[in-house]
Amino acid sequence: METNLVCQSCGMPFTAEVQKGIEKDGSKSSLYCTYCYQSGAFTRPGLTFADMEAIVRNQMAQIGESEESIRRALNVLPHLKRWKGDPHLL
């Protein structure tokens, strides 16, 4: 089974099994977090890359992350599985 250290949608680090999303069969996702993925589908299927950038920025700012940490997280987003090949990023 493929294991990832971060959610392949939002980039949130997996530090506990409970953070992993749920597949259609009820098993834990090895790719996506519980905020992005439930019952084998994205929780927000119409979410755009720009929307995700705003969510990540806001969530990280709320928990007091530095601007440098936020910038690093945002730089990772285009390389994640959900966003790779997105025509809006080319």
Local confidence band at 1 (pLDDT 50, 70, 90 cut-offs)? very low
pLDDT of the residue at 88: 65
**Rounded to two decimals, what is the model's pTM?**
0.87
Task: Assess if residue 76 is contained within a domain.
Answer: yes
Task: Assess if residue 12 is contained within a domain.
Answer: no
Q: In the chain, how many domains are there?
A: 1
Instruction: Tell me which residue range forms the domain holding 72.
Output: 17-89
pLDDT of the residue at 23: 97
Task: Assess if residue 33 is contained within a domain.
Answer: yes
Per-residue pLDDT reduced to its tens digit, 17-72: 999 999 999 999 999 999 999 999 999 999 999 999 999 999 999 999 999 999 99
Instruction: Give counts: helices (H), strands (E), the chain.
Output: 2, 4
With a cut of 90, say whether residue 2 has pLDDT above it.
no
- What's CA 72's distance to the chain center, in Å? 14
Residue 33 CB burial class (10 angstroms; 0-12, 13-18, ≥19): buried
Task: Assess if residue 65 is contained within a domain.
Answer: yes
Task: Assess if residue 1 is contained within a domain.
Answer: no
